Structure 1
Amino acid sequence: MFTLPAPLQIRDYRAFWLSRFFATVAGLMLVIVIGWQVYDIARASMSRDDAAFLLGMIGLAQFLPLFCLALVVGVIADRMDRRHIARAAVALEILCAAVIGGLALAGEVPMTALFVVAALLGVARAFQGPSMAALAPNLVPRELLPQAIALNSISWQAGAVIGPPLGAFLYAVSPATPYLVAAVLFILTFICLMIIRPVPLPPPAVVTPWRSVMEGISFVRHNRVVLGAISLDLFAVLLGGATAMLPVYARDVLDVGVAGLGPLRAAPSVGAVIVAVLLANRPLRRHVGPVMFASVAVFGLATVVFGLSTSYPLSLAALFVLGAADAISVFVRGTLIQLHTPDDMRGRVSSVSGLFISASNELGELESGLAARYVGAVPAVVAGGIGAVLVTLLWAWRFPQLRTADRFAGPTPKPG
């Protein structure tokens, strides 16, 4: 008889899990549709590489709000009810999806509107990421946290499998449809967050907000496990971000169009979901540091294969392996960071982590766009994959505490 994993038997965590799933489906629908529209509009009057540069600018538009707000949001997440912060962020996402969907219904969507929506979605993510990351450990007992983190990955990756193909399919129906469906999914996310009952608030702050921000940065800087895990993701994904160039590959390298773009964007998540399901049922218990570094190296090598491929099946396979390797790395990093961070610091540490992750993703898109403009899209992707492998080797040398980590273990919690 099938039994839900232990964390999903907890009502509030189940609502949280569903909220992540719905938000991921909706968010990645918007990502793929906005990216395709920007590139498609630009290609009408620009070369391939110049149009690819605009994909990098979309990444920058999303990163700037995150950069400006992330650390402040971390302080807020350690002082206020994290449920309320997440709900407000999702409300902004509902507004963004509804407005751009309305513009699409009315006629042509201006390029400016796409950039404005991308920036506003960056604002929403700046608030949503740290609050959701800090909320999850409040919903399950400490001994279930590694399993819950694996389940968190499943919710995200399952949404990432469904969102891109669904967005591409709905865009083929009409340009307005994916935005309106995304708005409905964000509404479901909001409802799930409303179901979660109150959670214990962190102890009242006894320092100023600025000092609180500095404490969060200082904690990350001096904790070698947390710093190594966060910064490894930053530089590996910053260099190896092949997904930013997927519209270029779909339209001009593999010649599969928007219909082929959806599976390309979903392929990494298919690999990640399979790995996440395995980790949720058989969590990794030994040699966690070496496994994490090996998975990041595989991520870089798969990026190189994808960059060189002109075969659609081979490209899908490379992206599948890339996603599977990344899922292992995300699971190990996420668990180590949470277990090595006290609860009253989780909002701030999550905001720093979110800033690094955003930098790796959105600034990775900018880096890919700039590189594509000057050396071409294909060389940019290949060089990025090689760079990710080199970063892995360097970090394994620079962070021996992380490289030699054998088991998931954090500091013993103080008696309450």
Structure 2
Amino acid sequence: MTNTDSNKRDPFEAVRISEFRSLVTVRFLFIMGLRMMSTLVGWWIYELTNAPFAIGLIGLSEVIPAISMALYAGHIIDLSEKKKLMRTGLSLYLLAALVLVLLSSRFTDTRLSHHWIALSIYLIIFCTGIIRSFTGPVFNVILAQVVPKSKLQNATTWNQGAWLTASVSGHAIGGFLIAGLGNTGTLVTIACLMTAALLFSSRLKQHPPLNERGEKKTWESVKEGIDFVFKTKEVLGALSLDLFAVLFGGAVAMVPVYARDILNVGPRGFGFLNGASDIGAICIVVLLALFPLRQKQGRKLLFAVAGFGLCIITFALSTTFWLSFAALMLSGILDGISMVVRGTIMQLKTPDNMRGRVLSVNSMFVNSSNELGQFESGVAAKLMGVVPSVVFGGCMTLGVVLVTWFKAPSLRKMEY
């Protein structure tokens, strides 16, 4: 394809594919339901226990099985018919929502103590963590089978935009629904979203496995996926950037402290700061769908992550609300660029018959970086103080970019 042809590329080329629209709709409904559920469960557990630590155990109870099962899940995804596996995951999430509806009912509240209800919630979330290890990667595996390779960059951008929009709106709407409908009404809404996702998923075609069952033993198959990631410098570099940038540079965990104790802006200011990076990310992802990056994407990825680190340092040192908000919003814009480029690299560099295993390794990096990043922020803040810990995180992000620049030249030079 010539540069002229590339410049004339239709920004809606992936959206014009009917099956891609159905897939994105399913993912949008699913992610919105998940985010509503996480918002609701956090609120509900705090109501039951009055213990902030109990909220932290929710994430731990989900991320442990999600990470533990990820490699095996990738092996199963590569050996399975993708539509059936996706629908099984959606059905199990719907079942989990219905069980939570029962737990939230007045009938259960009069028969079980708050302690046993909380333990039951943790058990259900643990089960959803197992389901998540299979369901999360399968969406991206199907994406590569639905969309021609020439349109993967465009499809990945729209897919990331839908994910971000569903995530942000799910959190926000979840809070309003809890206030208006209560726990049970919110869970019924979540069940309706999962049901709608199941109905839309019936429009997808079957996507049979590209590997034959029994071709390799389970561990050999899993090891092949891990080996591919570590031998493919572009993929390893992109995953490492995501892992360490979020692990060290994520300032989200400290936003409540900044809002209340440093910027003195209260709950309303906290709401703006909490949504700033998401707003920036959504705006840039939509913009990139209309005006995609044309060249030197690997170099731009590294610059974006370095800029993200600088934004975190700026936020850490700021004592002015508008500057803090701008720094977080710009960090979201740069993270959105990074997200799109990383996602496209993963799709373009991964062989079709290994997508389940490679994308499951990716899910391990993503899941661990978010959860461990929150833990790291808390530990660093306790050891260094809040402001020095956030500055340290931004500096570490810059250090990771510097190491990647020299250690992964193929990522730096990559174009697609």
Q: Verify same fold: TM over 0.5.
A: yes
Q: CA separation of 1:293/1:68 partners in 2, compared to 1, >3 Å: closer, same or farther?
A: same
1:62 aligns with 2:62: yes
Q: 1:129 aligns with which of 136, 140, 149?
A: 136
- How far off is 1:331 after superposition? 0.9
Aligned to 1:360: 369
Alpha-carbon separation, structure 2, partners of 1:317 and 1:400: 32
Aligned to 1:164: 171
3-state SS, counterpart of residue 72 of structure 1: helix
Flag the structure with larger Rg: 2
Q: CA separation of 1:121/1:377 partners in 2, compared to 1, >3 Å: closer, same or farther?
A: farther
1:144 aligns with 2:151: yes
3-state SS, counterpart of residue 292 of structure 2: coil
- How far off is 1:174 after superposition? 4.7
Alpha-carbon separation, structure 2, partners of 1:298 and 1:54: 35
3-state SS, counterpart of residue 195 of structure 1: coil
Aligned to 1:79: 79
- How far off is 1:302 after superposition? 2.5
Aligned to 2:91: 91
Aligned to 1:197: 205
Q: CA separation of 1:329/1:227 partners in 2, compared to 1, >3 Å: closer, same or farther?
A: same
Q: CA separation of 1:264/1:125 partners in 2, compared to 1, >3 Å: closer, same or farther?
A: farther
CA distances 1:356-404 after superposition (whole Å, capped 9, x unpaired): 1111112222323434455555554443233222222222222111112
Alpha-carbon separation, structure 1, partners of 2:260 and 2:194: 29
8 Å contact kept, 1:28–1:164: yes
- How far off is 1:74 after superposition? 0.5
1:299 aligns with 2:308: yes
Letter matched to residue 214 of structure 1: K
1:120 aligns with 2:127: yes
- How far off is 1:34 after superposition? 3.5
Aligned to 2:239: 230
Letter matched to residue 143 of structure 1: S
8 Å contact kept, 1:38–1:111: yes
TM-score by length of 1: 0.85
Gaps of 5+ in 1: 46-50, 409-416
The more displaced of 93-102 and 287-296 is 93-102
CA distances 1:133-158 after superposition (whole Å, capped 9, x unpaired): 11101001111111000110111111
Count of aligned positions: 397
8 Å contact kept, 1:150–1:276: yes
- How far off is 1:68 after superposition? 1.3
1:181 aligns with 2:189: yes
- How far off is 1:306 after superposition? 3.8
8 Å contact kept, 1:300–1:389: yes
Letter matched to residue 183 of structure 1: A
Q: 1:6 aligns with which of 7, 13, 20?
A: 13
8 Å contact kept, 1:70–1:351: yes
Letter matched to residue 335 of structure 2: D
Alpha-carbon separation, structure 1, partners of 2:227 and 2:123: 34
1:271 aligns with 2:280: yes
Letter matched to residue 156 of structure 1: W
TM-score by length of 2: 0.85
Alpha-carbon separation, structure 2, partners of 1:309 and 1:118: 37
Aligned to 1:18: 25
Aligned to 1:399: 408
- How far off is 1:256 after superposition? 3.9
Letter matched to residue 135 of structure 1: I
3-state SS, counterpart of residue 181 of structure 1: helix
The more displaced of 298-307 and 345-354 is 298-307
Q: RMSD in angstroms over aligned alpha carbons?
A: 2.8
Q: CA separation of 1:389/1:35 partners in 2, compared to 1, >3 Å: closer, same or farther?
A: farther
CA distances 1:164-223 after superposition (whole Å, capped 9, x unpaired): 221222222254143332222222222222221112431314211211001111111111
Q: CA separation of 1:274/1:76 partners in 2, compared to 1, >3 Å: closer, same or farther?
A: same
8 Å contact kept, 1:60–1:366: no
Alpha-carbon separation, structure 2, partners of 1:260 and 1:207: 55
Alpha-carbon separation, structure 1, partners of 2:294 and 2:170: 31
Alpha-carbon separation, structure 2, partners of 1:261 and 1:183: 30
8 Å contact kept, 1:245–1:368: yes
Q: CA separation of 1:161/1:102 partners in 2, compared to 1, >3 Å: closer, same or farther?
A: same
Letter matched to residue 186 of structure 2: P
- Counting only pairs closer than 5 Å after superposition, residues 253-268 of structure 1 correspond to structure 2 as 256-257=266-267, 263-268=272-277
- How far off is 1:353 after superposition? 0.8
3-state SS, counterpart of residue 283 of structure 2: helix
Q: 2:298 aligns with which of 289, 292, 298?
A: 289
8 Å contact kept, 1:157–1:270: no
Alpha-carbon separation, structure 2, partners of 1:366 and 1:90: 29
CA distances 1:85-126 after superposition (whole Å, capped 9, x unpaired): 222222232233333344344356954445334433322221
8 Å contact kept, 2:70–2:363: yes
- How far off is 1:226 after superposition? 1.0
1:317 aligns with 2:326: yes
Letter matched to residue 203 of structure 1: N
3-state SS, counterpart of residue 302 of structure 2: helix
Letter matched to residue 10 of structure 1: I
3-state SS, counterpart of residue 321 of structure 1: helix
Q: CA separation of 1:7/1:326 partners in 2, compared to 1, >3 Å: closer, same or farther?
A: same
Identity among equivalent pairs (%): 37
